[in-house]
Structure formats: structure tokens, C-alpha cells
Amino acid sequence: MFIGDLDKVVNLLLSLSGRLARVENVLSGLGEDASNEERSSLHQKRKILASQHEDARELKENLDRRERVVLDILANYLSEEQLQDYQHFVKMKSTLLIEQRKLDDKIKLGQEQVKCLLESLPSGRQPHRPFPEHCLI
């Protein structure tokens, strides 16, 4: 149960961090011609995401406290080596979730870039064998 909650909270933090970063990138890239309504909407979205991110961080802190309680309980039942294995598993689980998210983001970015490149080609220059649909967004 703890591991499942850890997965959910780490994924939530990663998702909110990514969404917050995208909104901030859009905000920083807005030109002077952007409407006040658009700017206001993005600021509101950033405010909501920042609040949700802070809530998720609090969830993570509570989960960290729960992890310490679980470790104390497990210390009564597991050998030192088993306890170290468990701690390593928990640490690697989070690390691998973060790495997976980074790879997923890189794949998505690559697909977006390929799509944009293909769309920018003149109509007569389109590849004869288009990429399979699953390779594009």
C-alpha cells in the first residue's frame, strides 16, 4: 500500500511540475501582442498549479513520515540486509519513475519535432513512406 501511494504521489509531483513548467514557459514567451485575457488566464492557471504542487509536496512529506513508521515496523521483522534491500527498492522505485517520465517527455518532444518538420516540408517534398501513425502524435 505504501509503495502504491509512493507511485501516485511521485507521478502527481512530476505531472504538476511539468504542467507548471509548460505554463511558465508559455508565459515567458508571450509577446507584447498577447491579450490581457490570455495573460490573466495563464497567471491564474500558474497560481492554481503552484497551489496544487504545494499540496502534493505536503502529501510527499506525509508519505516520508509514513515511510519512517513503516521502516520502524519492518525493522522488527526483517534482517538488516532485508531492510536495506527494502530501502534500496523504495529509493530506486522513485528514481526509476522519474527517469521514465524524463524518457517519456523526450519521446513526446521528438515526436512533436518530427511532426513539425514533416508539416514544414513543401508538399512535393513529403517522404514517400510516411512515418507510421504511432510514431507521430
Domain that holds residue 7: 2-135
Output the tens digit of pLDDT for each of the chain's 137 residues. 888 899 999 999 999 998 999 899 888 888 888 888 988 999 999 999 999 999 999 999 999 999 999 999 999 999 999 999 999 999 999 899 999 988 988 898 888 888 888 888 887 676 665 555 555 55
Model confidence pTM above 0.75: no
pLDDT at 1: 81
- All residues at 6 or more sequence positions from 38 whose CB lies less than 8 Å from its CB, including other chains: 30
What total of structural domains would you count in the chain?
1
Residue type, 93: K
Rounded distance between C-alpha atoms, residue 79 and residue 27, angstroms: 52
The answer to whether residues 127 and 118 touch, using CB atoms and an 8 Å cutoff, is yes
